[in-house]
Copies of this chain bind each other. A is one copy, B any other.
Amino acid sequence: MSDNWLDEIQWGADGLVPAIAQEAGSGTVLMVAWMNREALALTVREGRAIYWSRSRGKLWRKGEESGHVQLIKDVRLDCDNDVVLLTVEQQGGIACHTGRHNCFFKQLRDEAWVSVDPVLKDPQQIYR
């Protein structure tokens, strides 16, 4: 199989690009993580989101501990070839490690960040 589609991506100096996971149906932006070449290739091959964890310095199979796997429905690339947009089906309805539906739960109000979305499941129950 050709890997031309991977070569077309403008990988950053660190070999990474940002990847947005957007929920199929609702359109909710669930999270942003990073991918290297291997992560994106595996994501497409396995049909589930696999990121590169910058903090842990290794591949991160989203949901490997939590069960909150993201099934891939669509993969898009932007005009500059440096951002990936995934449409995903979020297993368990929880994308965020805080136990919320998505990671963008802090809203700017009067120059302060306010957490406005509920915790759906205690993280201690997610990561046992």
Binding site for B on A (CB under 8 A): 1-5, 8, 18, 20, 22, 26-29, 31-32, 44, 74-81, 83, 85, 96-98, 100, 103-108, 111-113
Given contacts A2-B111, A5-B112, A27-B27, is CB(A105)–CB(B76) below 8 Å? Answer: yes
Q: Is the CB of B5 within 8 A of A76?
A: no
In the assembled complex, the CB of A103 is this many whole angstroms from the nearest CB of chain B, namely 4
Identify which of B8, B28, B78 contacts A104 (C-beta below 8 A): B78
Stoichiometry (number of copies): 2
> Can you list 10 A-B pairs, Cβ within 8 angstroms, ordered by A?
A1-B111, A26-B27, A29-B85, A31-B78, A32-B83, A76-B107, A78-B106, A79-B100, A83-B104, A85-B104
In the bound assembly, the distance between CA atoms of A108 and B113 in angstroms comes to 36
User: Could you say which of B1, B3, B5, B80 contacts A113, with CB atoms under 8 Å apart?
Assistant: B5
Contact B4 A112 (CB under 8 A): yes
Q: Write the chain B residue with the least CB distance to A112.
A: B5
A20 → chain B closest CB, angstroms? 6
A44: chain B residues within 8 A (beta carbon): 108, 111
Q: CA A26 – CA B44 in complex, angstroms?
A: 26
CA distance A4 to B4 in the complex (A): 45
